[in-house]
Amino acid sequence: MTNNKTYILGERALVIEIAQTTLSQQQQNKLFAMHTWMRQKKVFIDIVPAKTTITGYLMHSQDPDYWLQKMQDAWDNIEPEQYQPRTHKIITQYGGETGPDLVEVANLLELSPSQVIELHSSQAYLVKFLGFLPGFAYLGDLDKQLHLPRLASPRTHVPRGSVAIAQDLTAIYPSESPGGWRLIGQTNMVLFDHHSKTPSIFQPGDIVKFIPSKESIC
Amino acid sequence: MLKTLKGGIQACVQDGGRRGYRHLGVSQAGVLDPLAMNYANALLHNEDDCAVIEITVGLCQFEFKETTNFAITGSDLGAKLNNKQIISGWRYSAAAGDKLTFSSSKDGLRAYLAVQGGFKLNPVLDSNSTDLQAGFGGLTGNSLKDGDVLDYDSKPPLPSIGAALPLYDKKIRVLAGPHSDLISEEQYKQLFEQHWQVLPQSNRMGIRIDSTLDLCHTQSIPSQAVTPGIVQLPPNGKPIILSNDCQTTGGYPIIAHVIEADLRHLSQLASNQYCSFELVTHQDARKALLEQQQHLAQFKIAINNNDKNAI
């Protein structure tokens, strides 16, 4: 059985936390199954998966203990769910003005810029969860050869569509914002449209692939 | 319509906030003091969550273009109607051309302005709240600028009426957080004996506070879902009380959680002011919230009785 703890955060947030820094595929699928179970209960106004947790916000705060117990029972008995992910292909222009950190990233990793592009674009990533900005998806896991800490001093303006890496993750900035991730490319795809009923193209559990554009600097 | 003559420091359209989109990274936004919004709407027989204008600091001016009734709640920011002082917690009628102005106050930080029938807005993701970080919702996705106009339906004047609303407190009641064991028991006890000073970097995303207590640490947690009211402890030891525009996930340890009934007090914490924390139980939190709801329900009954012949 998976080692987990459940607790009430504040008055109406119920949290399941898996006591590990990264999840196995099996645990990740169990989290997705839990997400489905929680949605079906119709007592949560928001359900937010994160790195090793899933948090449900009760519509009413009367009965948190009851629902916490229900969640623990469900977690103990639930079968991992094979989430049917959608796959997104993100055309990305790497390097140059669109990826201002590519050369430095390559230098720090003792790779060539084209090797960085090759490593970044040759695998499929899982949307682990969204946060930070509307539509900002945390994509993992990045190839071990590409792991670098965040920039020591964050940029005040990261352009919309920037493709970035930090530690074991990669991401795309859906809108302009400040940010401390290293920018290696850019896409002109719209990731978040607040006028749409389904505003984010990415959902937790989806698959993302980066396709280098012809203009990419290799 | 209501014309913004001067936007001031920050005046923005807010309602009860945006729910159901947190898993896509969409912040809650919404009024910092839901009770002030509820009372303003109750005075006008609006729905509880009808969008209002949240005024921070003040220094703004509006002009009514049609006859209507309006209410102001929250702190007294020196509001005047045609240069005549008006009182927070009251309903007034305005004629076309009347000017509503706010100066500022050293005691209060935020006031709320509602009009009868509400403003006509186009909801974004099921809410009329302005998400100032993401730039959508409200009127333009931004705070009100000079010249911005908000439409409303004209209403015949009602007699003025008002009531004493629940007061604000600088003592904030909290529940223990899941990562309280990060600091020693002695330090945790001291959290509640300190006077915490609000730092100038505070805003609608979070209130940063500091004291003489050294709570520096080197721990981080895997990013988890966070909401307004969570008290985070970053490695620099200066707690952040998350507020309505906070991000949906965060990786700083959570040492406490402001109870829902006391979130409204955060709306009035201005920089350099002091606040303190009191540790309470889940039972206390539920009781406090219930009391607020009952007070509001009674208030609505009283208003309805009073206006029976007027509406």
List, for residues B195-228, the tens digit of each pLDDT value: 999 999 999 999 999 999 999 888 888 889 999 9
Does the domain at A4-82 match CATH 3.30.1360.40? Answer given as yes
Chain B residues touching A190 at Cβ < 8 A: none
On whether residue B267 sits in a domain, the answer given is yes
CA of residue B67 relative to chain centroid, distance: 27
Chain B residues touching A12 at Cβ < 8 A: 260
The CA distance from A184 to B217, in Å, is 32
The CA distance from A182 to A158, in Å, is 10
Nearest to A48 among B248, B285, B286 (CB): B248
Quote the Cα angle for A5-A13-A46, to 5°: 115
Q: Which of residues 85-124 of A touch B (CB under 8 A)?
A: none
- pLDDT for B227 equals 96
Chain B residues touching A36 at Cβ < 8 A: none
In the predicted structure, residue B174 carries a pLDDT above the cut 70:
yes
User: What is the rounded average pLDDT of the residues B171-197?
Assistant: 94
On whether residue B59 sits in a domain, the answer given is yes
Q: Provide the percentage of residues in chain A whose pLDDT is more than 90.
A: 74
CB neighbourhood size of A3 (10 A): 9
What residue of B is the nearest CA neighbor of A43? B20
Tokens 């996705």 belong to residue = B141
What residue of A is the nearest CA neighbor of B122? A195
| N-to-C CA span, chain A | 47
- pLDDT for B59 equals 96
Chain B residues touching A48 at Cβ < 8 A: 22-23, 225, 248-249
Asked if B187 and B211 sit in the same domain, the reply is yes
User: What is the rounded average pLDDT of the residues B119-147?
Assistant: 97
Tokens 């530690």 belong to residue = A167
The answer to whether residues B75 and B17 touch, using CB atoms and an 8 Å cutoff, is no
The answer to whether residues B182 and B220 touch, using CB atoms and an 8 Å cutoff, is no
In the predicted structure, residue A41 carries a pLDDT above the cut 70:
yes
In the predicted structure, residue B102 carries a pLDDT above the cut 90:
yes
* Domain range enclosing B188: 171-280
The CA distance from A21 to B198, in Å, is 34
- pLDDT for A175 equals 92
Nearest to B23 among A130, A132, A194 (CB): A130
- pLDDT for B2 equals 98
Asked if B16 and B145 sit in the same domain, the reply is yes
> Of the residues B142, B162, B182, which one is the last residue of a structural domain?
B162
User: What is the rounded average pLDDT of the residues B128-152?
Assistant: 97
Confidence of residue B9 (pLDDT cuts 50, 70, 90): very high
On whether residue B241 sits in a domain, the answer given is yes
The letter for the amino acid at B32 is: L
The mean pLDDT of chain B is: 95
The pLDDT tens digits of the residues spanning A194-212 come to 999 899 999 988 999 999 9
User: What is the rounded average pLDDT of the residues B82-107?
Assistant: 96
The mean pLDDT of chain A is: 92
Q: Within an 8 Å CB–CB cutoff, is residue A173 touching chain B?
A: no
CATH superfamily for A87-212 is Cyclophilin-like (2.40.100.10)
More confident site: B74 or B310:
B74
β-strands A124-130, A53-58 pairing: unpaired
As a dihedral over the C-alpha atoms of residue B142, residue B146, residue B150, residue B156, rounded to 10 degrees, the angle is 150
Say yes or no for a CB contact (<8 Å) between A138 and B223. Answer: yes
Q: Within an 8 Å CB–CB cutoff, is residue B216 touching chain A?
A: no
CA of residue B57 relative to chain centroid, distance: 12
The beta strands (E) that lie in chain A are given as 4-9, 13-18, 44-49, 53-58, 87-94, 124-130, 137-140, 155-158, 162-166, 169-172, 177-179, 182-186, 207-212
Q: Within an 8 Å CB–CB cutoff, is residue A47 touching chain B?
A: yes
> Of the residues B134, B162, B190, which one is the last residue of a structural domain?
B162
All CATH 2.40.100.10 domain ranges in chain A, comma separated? 87-212
Q: Provide the percentage of residues in chain B whose pLDDT is more than 90.
A: 91
Q: What are phi and psi of B212, to 5 degrees?
A: -80, -10
In the predicted structure, residue A218 carries a pLDDT above the cut 70:
no
What token pair was written down for B303? Answer: 């208003």
Asked if B131 and B38 sit in the same domain, the reply is yes
Domains of chain B: total: 2
User: What is the rounded average pLDDT of the residues A128-143?
Assistant: 94
In the predicted structure, residue A1 carries a pLDDT above the cut 60:
no
ipTM reported for the complex surpasses 0.90? yes
With CA atoms as reference, report the closest residue to A55 among B228, B226, B263, B178: B226
The pLDDT tens digits of the residues spanning A147-174 come to 999 888 889 899 999 999 999 999 999 9
- Least confident range from A15-24, B54-63, B129-138, B289-298: namely A15-24
User: What is the rounded average pLDDT of the residues B47-64?
Assistant: 97
- pLDDT for A61 equals 76
- pLDDT for A217 equals 64
Asked if B156 and B181 sit in the same domain, the reply is no
The answer to whether residues B175 and B37 touch, using CB atoms and an 8 Å cutoff, is no
* Largest Cα–Cα separation, chain A: 59
Residue A149, phi-psi category: left (phi > 0), alpha (psi -120 to 50), beta (remainder)? beta
